[in-house]
Amino acid sequence: MQSKVVSALLAGAAVASACVIPPGTLSNTITTPFRVQVQNASYPEINNQYMNLLAAGGGDQHLFVGPVGVPTYDLTLLNGVITHGDIRAVIGGEFSDIDHTTKMFMTNRGDPRAIYQPTYVCNPVTDALQIELTFVTMQNNPPGGWNCVRPTFDNAHEFRYYPPGNTLNDPNRFCKKVTLVAVFTGGGTTTSSPPVSSVSTPSSSSSSSSSSTSSSVPVNSNLPYTDMTGLGFRFLGCSPEERRVVPPDQPVRTLPSASLAGDDMTNEKCMAFCAGLGYAYAGSEYRRECWCGNSYLPTRQPATTLASLANCNFRCAGNAAQYCGGDSWLSLYQKCPVGGPCVNAVFT
């Protein structure tokens, strides 16, 4: 049994090593709209669920995970504070004598704010690159502590603050420690500034169109996408599929003309497939899918913010050193003109 556990741990470590953390420092201001996802794989009932808002008196909003409240797609981060319009995430009220936790909610009043620092991390389960909103402190209090969610009515969980040094818990309403992750929702419709303050952009290269393939196309050393300019395709960005566009539009697929799927999928394979059929655009998605077309809707235009790239952080099924889109997000490439420049989009 022990050898099986060790083998599993080693296998997990091998998978985790494939995730590459981009260099640079993330700003504590994110104006690209996002949702907050809750992660703790030890608790399936809350893991990968999203923060919902429920209107309260005076313009306040309660924060829940589960069937209570309304999904919110347009959160931002301002100086480390989760913001929705003119209200901010704060910690105050409903202090519990049993577990010493305090309610977290959103208001425009002057309650102590919950302060976060965005950080690139690798998802411990999927190995996907993601931006964690690391809890820093309750404003005007010692640093430390964390967010937890506690069972409440209708099978929902409410957000709470668990202070540093606390060891108490309510046995009847155990507050589960959670990680908060920013999941970006703006797609091609946002023009807001990026969350990254100091990440260099990739160097440009020129290449004529080529029909050859390579077995070792590297991931861009600075940003989470695969540079395919050597094969005559330039990277445009991370394009939303239908269910990622708000409001949704048609068709479902950004590039619906032809497709290919397989557990040996790489970006070379996808580019070669689409080029062989004469298509101008190619895109990889969900690790193992390839899509082709000659045009796409304006609503599917990728953003050129660094934050938007976090949506296309799935590793290719056929080469874990490459990125192949995401869940309903397409790593979009365009065939370069023969003899012309072949330069990736610049992300700032």
Per-residue burial over 201-223, b if 16 or more Cβ lie within 10 Å, else e, is ebeeeebeebeeeeeebebbebb
For residue 84, the SS3 value is strand
pLDDT of residue 135: 96
Write down all domains in the chain, each with its CATH number in brackets: 20-185 (2.80.10), 229-335 (no CATH)
Identify the segments of the chain with pLDDT beneath 70. 1-17, 185-223
pLDDT of residue 117: 93
The 10s digit of each residue's pLDDT in 121-151 is: 998 888 888 899 999 999 988 899 999 999 9
* Alpha-carbon span 327 to 286, nearest angstrom: 5
Tokens coding 313: 């952080």
* Alpha-carbon span 270 to 272, nearest angstrom: 5
pLDDT of residue 185: 62
* Alpha-carbon span 88 to 57, nearest angstrom: 15
Dmax over CA atoms of the chain, in Å, equals 72
The answer to whether the peptide bond before residue 118 is cis (omega within 30 degrees of 0) is no
* Total residues found in the chain within this entry: 348
One-letter identity of residue 118: P
Compute the Cα dihedral for 315, 319, 320, 323 and give only its sign.
negative
The 10s digit of each residue's pLDDT in 22-70 is: 887 788 888 888 899 999 999 999 999 999 999 987 889 999 998 888 8
Distance of CA 294 to the CA centre of its chain: 28
pLDDT of residue 258: 93
